Amino acid sequence: MSDGVPNRSSRVRPLMRGPRPESVPALVGRACALVGLLDVAAGIFPRFRQSRMHTLAEVLPGSFGPFAAALSLSAGVLLLLLAHGLRRGKRRAWRAAVALLPAGAVAQFVYRHSVVGALISLALLIPLIAHRDQFRALPDPRSRWRALANFVLMGAGSLVLGLIIVSVHPRRMIGDPSLADRITHVLYGLLGFEGPVDYQGSTSWTVAFSLGALGWITAVTTIYLAFRPEHPAARLTDEDEARLRALLDRHGRRDSLGHFALRRDKAVVFSPSGKAAVTYRVVSGVMLASGDPIGDVEAWPGAIERFMDEAKAHSWTPAVMGCSETGGEVWTRETGLDALELGDEAVVDVADFSLAGRAMRNVRQMVKRIERAGYETRVRRVRDLGEAELERIRLAAEDWRGTDTERGFSMALGRVGDAADGDCLIATAHKADEAPGPYGDLKAILHFVPWGPDGASLDLMRRDRSADPGMNELLIVAALQAAPKFGITRVSLNFAMFRSALARGEKIGAGPVLRAWRGLLVFLSRWFQIESLYKFNAKFQPRWEPRFVVYRASGDLPRIGFAAMQAEGFVNLALPLPRFLRRRTKPARACAHGLTERQDVRAA
């Protein structure tokens, strides 16, 4: 490798390490969940037998028993909610657990007369206090949607627990109430009212207090999440963007994904010297970087160290999506993380591209057919387009997206036609010999971002569904043929996940395991465009550049994969507003002109 990176004879591979020992916060979090379950069970189920403590209980006020049951149940549920935060070393979760454990112990002692249960709760306080210095993690970025999710999940959980509470006293229940009566009793009890189910003795108070406690927890936690002080997700500031652009001006030709660091929904950390930076977004507790660090490769370790320090301070899971082989080597060397090949990026060298030859026959025939149908193409810099045309392109790109949310993170800029992105290329297809649509004669759009001074990287592909098939091939060929005019010598196309497995699995002699893996990828391609992207890219005879995912431990990969799918827009946990409530800033959509399926294949 050049630019200060030592040569290595093989690609980045996962480091073969033994299982990592669990940290104290992880063990404490598991223990907290266990104690929480014990407290919940103690609050739900009646005492199994008489004990000597009953003598003391007889002299306590009658409300102490029901109150203790509700307290035990409340403490248990809250400890279960705090267990995840304790596993991540969150300071606020530690404070709450230190307060709740004694309360749960008292409730166990008063209601169940269980010395062992009380001692178990108090025993957990010892490691909590002894290792308090390991619970320093700062809060995560927050969203108001957490309050709604908490209300739905806690409400469902409270209903289930309530049904158990109502049903575990069959000998004291008066009559034989139906399931509907029991559900009604639970719903009334969660709101603090009496329901249709009656019990003998003080059991009615115990059930009422327990149901009221569940309703109270649901309401309080939801209100807390809705109105707690904001810790919003970091955003790229104007100053950060200016510093990143300066680094890209000097070092942007290194990585085809460099310009995507300028997404404004990312945050950034700089090296101490300011000569390198890592951009990231936090999704579901995962600190996701994308591509290689920006800037001088010799300053990368400083930026990576800052990134890891930030992840540690918040107890985020660090991960890098789509870094190059050079980037993967530096990340694994500096941090001890592992790297795994994720797929390949298709890169076309403009000087070697030609439509001649048998290999390009299908593309050549498709392009000729579309040109004979009356389509023409234009390839221009963003700064050379007028504002009216840019606005039309923006509206068309949004309308033809085919999904409610913009997809893409590691290989998508998230905007089109911004004044600061004047060096971006826009390739458009037009057909003038038919009735103009809401966007004139515009039929398809390709958007490329700069890859240093002599390269371009594909950002998005959109087309009108009513247009003839082959618009994407037409515009890629047009962009490659026009590239020399703009001084562009290389063009990065789409990223193909697991390309090598697909390519090897279809060859003669492939083993049963490789064929089975390829079959699974083909099956998943129905939803994630895995095989279709590979075949689409292969049409242009590119060279393949491997891309890697960097991760801390194998057990983190499912979580990282889910976070990456959220970041890319394939999984959306936030509930969107209905269409009729959204502010419409574009012309009415015309169904006759085809609201297309997702065309931004790069994000896949």
Amino acid letter, residue 341: E
Task: Provide the pLDDT confidence category of residue 26 given band limits of 50, 70 and 90.
Answer: confident
Mean pLDDT of the 255-264 span:
91
Would you say 181 and 196 are in contact if contact means Cβ atoms under 8 Å apart?
yes
Judged against a pLDDT cut of 50, whether residue 14 lies above it is answered with no
Longest dimension (CA), the chain: 98
CA distance 122 to 104: 9
Measuring CA to CA, how many Å separate 426 from each of 335, 431, 460, 492?
39, 17, 10, 14
Residues 6+ apart with CB under 8 A from 176: none
Q: Tell me the two tokens of residue 217.
A: 């927890």
Q: Give me the pLDDT at residue 274, please.
A: 92
Q: Which residue has the higher pLDDT, 379 or 578?
A: 379
Q: Give me the pLDDT at residue 88, please.
A: 80
Task: Provide the pLDDT confidence category of residue 58 given band limits of 50, 70 and 90.
Answer: very low
CA distance 108 to 433: 81
Q: Give me the pLDDT at residue 65, please.
A: 64
Judged against a pLDDT cut of 80, whether residue 13 lies above it is answered with no
Q: Give me the pLDDT at residue 580, please.
A: 41
Task: For residue 443, give the H/E element and its range.
Answer: strand 442-450
Judged against a pLDDT cut of 70, whether residue 113 lies above it is answered with no
Measuring CA to CA, how many Å separate 57 from each of 80, 83, 122, 328?
28, 32, 21, 65
Q: Give me the pLDDT at residue 18, please.
A: 43
Q: Give me the pLDDT at residue 598, please.
A: 33
**E-state strands within 324-424:** 338-349, 375-381
Q: Which residue has the higher pLDDT, 332 or 22?
A: 332
What is the bridge-based pairing of β-strands 455-463 and 442-450?
Answer: antiparallel
Amino acid letter, residue 479: A
Judged against a pLDDT cut of 70, whether residue 120 lies above it is answered with yes
Mean pLDDT of the 290-310 span:
93
How is residue 173 annotated by DSSP? B
Would you say 277 and 271 are in contact if contact means Cβ atoms under 8 Å apart?
yes
Q: Give me the pLDDT at residue 592, please.
A: 31
With residues binned 3-state (H G I as helix, E B as strand, rest as coil), the percentages for the chain, rounded to 5, are 50, 15, 35
**DSSP string of 526-591?**
HHH-HHHHHHHHHTT--EEEEEEEEES-GGGHHHHHHHHHHHHTS---SPPPPGGGSPP-SPPP-G
Query: What is the share, in percent, of the chain residues with pLDDT greater than 90?
Result: 29
Q: Which residue has the higher pLDDT, 579 or 99?
A: 99
Q: Give me the pLDDT at residue 94, please.
A: 85
Would you say 422 and 575 are in contact if contact means Cβ atoms under 8 Å apart?
no
Query: Tell me: the pLDDT tens digits for 524-565?
Result: 767 667 777 788 888 999 999 999 999 998 888 888 988 888
CA distance 183 to 186: 5
Would you say 256 and 456 are in contact if contact means Cβ atoms under 8 Å apart?
no
Q: Tell me the two tokens of residue 7.
A: 């040569």
Q: Tell me the two tokens of residue 75.
A: 């403490």
Q: Tell me the two tokens of residue 142.
A: 């927050």
Task: Provide the pLDDT confidence category of residue 96 given band limits of 50, 70 and 90.
Answer: confident
What is the bridge-based pairing of β-strands 425-431 and 338-349?
Answer: unpaired
CA distance 487 to 279: 28
Tokens 């290194």 identify what position? 254
What is the bridge-based pairing of β-strands 286-290 and 317-323?
Answer: parallel
Mean pLDDT of the 283-298 span:
90
- In terms of Cβ atoms closer than 10 Å to its own Cβ (0-12, 13-18, 19+), residue 32 is buried
Query: Tell me: the pLDDT tens digits for 324-367?
Result: 999 999 999 999 899 998 888 999 999 999 999 898 999 999 99
Judged against a pLDDT cut of 70, whether residue 7 lies above it is answered with no
Tokens 């005492």 identify what position? 47
Q: Give me the pLDDT at residue 508, please.
A: 64
Q: Give me the pLDDT at residue 135, please.
A: 81
Judged against a pLDDT cut of 70, whether residue 317 lies above it is answered with yes
Q: Give me the pLDDT at residue 23, please.
A: 76
Report domain extents, the chain. 21-50+62-139, 142-230, 238-345+502-575+589-598, 348-497
Q: Tell me the two tokens of residue 508.
A: 């003669």
Residues 6+ apart with CB under 8 A from 363: 355, 473, 477, 539, 540
Task: For residue 453, give the H/E element and its range.
Answer: none
Task: Provide the pLDDT confidence category of residue 6 given band limits of 50, 70 and 90.
Answer: very low
- In terms of Cβ atoms closer than 10 Å to its own Cβ (0-12, 13-18, 19+), residue 101 is buried
Residues 6+ apart with CB under 8 A from 28: 86, 87, 124, 127, 128, 131
CA distance 118 to 229: 34
Query: Tell me: the pLDDT tens digits for 155-204?
Result: 888 888 888 888 888 888 888 888 888 889 888 888 888 888 888 877 88
Lowest mean pLDDT among 134-143, 178-187, 430-439, 493-502: 134-143
Mean pLDDT of the chain: 80
Query: Tell me: the pLDDT tens digits for 213-237?
Result: 888 888 888 877 777 655 556 678 8
